[in-house]
Amino acid sequence: MFRIGIIGSDNSHALAFAKLVNFPDEKTGSYFFPDCRVTGIFGQESTRTEEVASKGNIDFIAVKPEELMGKVDAVMVVFRHGDLHLKYALPFVEKGIPIWIDKVCSTTLKEPI
């Protein structure tokens, strides 16, 4: 099983991706990604993170994003604000963990990329 972690729970995309991966299609009963599951999540807002974990069938809530290391095979960075993406993605990149970033890694031309 390929384990995916989500970093950022504030965006509606976090729950949408968890449902897409963790639940079978209502019509066919088949999973869209049968060999994958979202197994962990980190978010800055504990109430929202708990809600996404519960509704998205995610077992592990990380208090710090680095707690996902060793527990997931890849991460999706989906914060609502793009200026958070690079900060949270970089430690996983440095460890060679595949990442997918939902949108831009900066919000101004002055931010380093």
Burial 41-71 (b: 16+ CB within 10 A, else e): bbbeeeebbeebbeebebebbbeebeebbee
pLDDT at 107 over 70: no
- What pLDDT sits at residue 35? 97
- What pLDDT sits at residue 111? 60
In a domain, 85, yes or no: yes
pLDDT, tens only, 58-87: 999 999 999 999 999 999 999 988 778 888
CATH at 72: 3.40.50.720
Domain extent at residue 42? 2-101
